[in-house]
Each structure stands twice: as C-alpha cells, then as structure tokens.
Amino acid sequence: DLRAALAGYLARARGVRTDPEHVLICSGFAHGLRVLAEVLRRRGAETVAVDSYGLDVHWNLLAAAGLRTRPLPFDELGTVTGGLADAGAVLLTPSHQFPMGVPLRPDRRAAVIEWARRTGGLVLEDDYDGEFRYDRQSIGALQGLAPDRVVYLGTASKSLAPGLRLGWMALPPSLAEEAAAAKGAMETCGVLDQLTLAEFLASGAYDRHVRSARLRYRRRRDALVEALAARAPDVRATGIAAGLHAVLRLPPGTEP
C-alpha cells in the first residue's frame, strides 16, 4: 500500500507524523493544492497568506479556486510570519523558501504554529525539495511540530521525474474525510505508478536513490560555486545549502 510506505518514509526522512489513513494520494502537487483550496472554500475561508516571492503556481491555483491571496513580506532572514492576521490558511515552503533558498527560522516556525492553534487556521507546507540538503542534516518538516494544524504536501517530481504525476498529502485527522470527498473524481492517479512507487519505497531503493542523487547534486553545486569564483568573483551564489537552484547576487551597479 503506497500510503503505508509513504507514512514510513516521511517519518524517517522528513520527521512527518502521520498514519496511512491520513495520507491522500494525488496526481502531483497542483492536484493536491486544488483539493485543499476546495476544502478551504467549503469551510468558508476567504484568504490564504502566501510567500511574496513564492511560486506562481501557488498564487494561480488559489486564485482559480476563488480564494484571495495575501503576500507575506520577506527580509534577510526569510519569510516574515507576523502578518497572518485573519487569514484562513498560510502556504509556505519552510525547508527551502522559493526562490531565495532560506529555511524558515525556528522562532518564525513557532509563531506560525501558535497562530494556527490560536485561530484554527491551517498551515499548508509545500516540501518541494526538502530531501536535498547538502551541508548539514535535513531540516525536519514543519508538520512534525503540529500534525493537527499542518498539511504536508510532497511530490515525486524533484526526487524522481516531473513526468511521474504522483503527489501526496499528510493531513490532520480532522481534515482527512473532507479532503478525500473534495478529491472525489477530480483527477485519477495511475494504479501502476502507485504500485511501483510503493515497492520502490518499501524495498529501500528510494532511500538509496535519494542519497545518490543528493551526492550528485552537491557535486554540481560545488562545481557551480568554483566556476563562479574563478570566472565571476563579484557574483555571489546564495540559497545553495539545499535544493536544485541558486540565486546569484550581482555586484552593485550591474545592469538588469
């Protein structure tokens, strides 16, 4: 069963606390977010707070569902989480903020969880590349701090291939039935793909694959840093402790 295999993997690799019956399989991240947007809409939510420098897909999918988006400010330490106010939910990339590449600070993580518990709001955690951290131990999922208030969203698009349309959500128990009902027949997930990934996870081959990929990507990251130092020493690469992209800081006065 893919849900059981995912629950086990996410617990050991990302610190996610969930049971198989609270894991919902979807055909990629976008499908999962559409399901959650429908759940939020049915619950009467009107506004979702989103990273001001976040992914366009977040903004577009939420707007398409009839939800308003509120940009969260960003400073040199990452996303500022003090402006949640009356939002019904917040969508974050806390392990590796896109695109700036910084993790959500512990005090800001705590503030988000405190807001969710105080107001009944939901935290939607997009862990799009949380498995790829290079210089230190991976940062655990935010969901592990509050499984009752955080929805964890993951996908195989970064770890395996974008063409494998499989994603998953670890849901708070109070949300599982609503999300399953909202999913309905919205999209189907290939049975063969699910069986294959379940076996890949259960056998340990997926863990080995991720470790191997992490090493390859780290070497590529190091090669990029070395090339920049040799050929463009005034350009600084940031956000490269994790993930599959870098942000290049150009020297002052550089033409855009």
Question: CA-based angle 233:94:248, to the nearest 5?
Answer: 15
Is 86 domain-assigned?
yes
Residues 137 and 234 occupy one common structural domain: no
Judge whether 255 lies within some domain.
no
pLDDT confidence of residue 161: 86
Asked if 9 and 118 sit in the same domain, the reply is yes
Instruction: Give the number of other Cβ atoms within 10 Å of residue 174's Cβ.
Output: 10
Q: Examine residue 254 and state whether it is found in any structural domain, yes or no.
A: no
3-state secondary structure the chain: CHHHHHHHHHHHHHCCCCCHHHEEEECCHHHHHHHHHHHHHHCCCCEEEEECCCCHHHHHHHHHCCCEEEEECEECCEECCCCCCCCCEEEECCCCCCCCCCCCCHHHHHHHHHHHHHHCCEEEEECCCCCCECCCCCCCCHHHHCCCCEEEEEECCCCCCCCCCCEEEECCHHHHHHHHHHHCCCCCCCHHHHHHHHHHHHCCHHHHHHHHHHHHHHHHHHHHHHHHHHHCCCCEEECCCECCCCEEECCCCCCC
In terms of residue numbers, what domain contains 99? Answer: 2-203
Same domain, 213 and 153: no
> How much is the pLDDT for 138?
79
Q: Per residue in 183-201, pLDDT tens?
A: 986 667 888 999 999 999 9
256 residues of the chain, pLDDT tens digit each: 899 999 999 999 999 999 999 999 999 999 999 999 999 999 999 999 998 877 888 989 999 999 999 999 988 888 998 879 889 999 999 998 888 888 999 999 999 999 999 999 999 999 988 889 898 777 899 999 999 999 999 999 889 988 888 999 999 999 999 999 999 866 678 889 999 999 999 999 999 999 999 999 999 999 999 999 999 999 999 988 888 899 999 988 887 6
User: Is the peptide bond preceding residue 99 cis, with omega within 30 degrees of 0?
Assistant: yes
Residues 6+ apart with CB under 8 A from 248: 228, 235, 236, 237, 238
pLDDT at 213: 93
Q: Are 70 and 83 in contact (CB under 8 A)?
A: yes
**Distance in angstroms (rounded) separating the CA atoms of residues 28 and 26:** 6
* Confidence at residue 225, expressed as pLDDT on a 0 to 100 scale: 95
In-domain check, residue 256: no
98 with 181, same domain: the answer is yes
The residue type of 117 is R
Q: What is the pLDDT of residue 49?
A: 95
Q: Indicate whether 159 and 237 sit together in one domain.
A: no
Report the pLDDT value the prediction gives residue 98, as an integer from 0 to 100: 86
Same domain, 61 and 122: yes
| Contact by Cβ (8 Å): 23, 29 | no
Q: Write the pLDDT tens digit of every residue in 53-78.
A: 778 889 899 999 999 999 999 888 88
Interaxial angle between packed helices 56-64 and 29-42, expressed in degrees from 0 to 180 and rounded to the nearest 10: 40
* Average pLDDT of every residue of the chain: 92
CATH of the domain at 177: 3.40.640.10
The reply to whether 122 and 235 lie within a common domain is no
Report if residue 189 sits inside a domain: yes
In terms of domains, do 174 and 212 share one? no
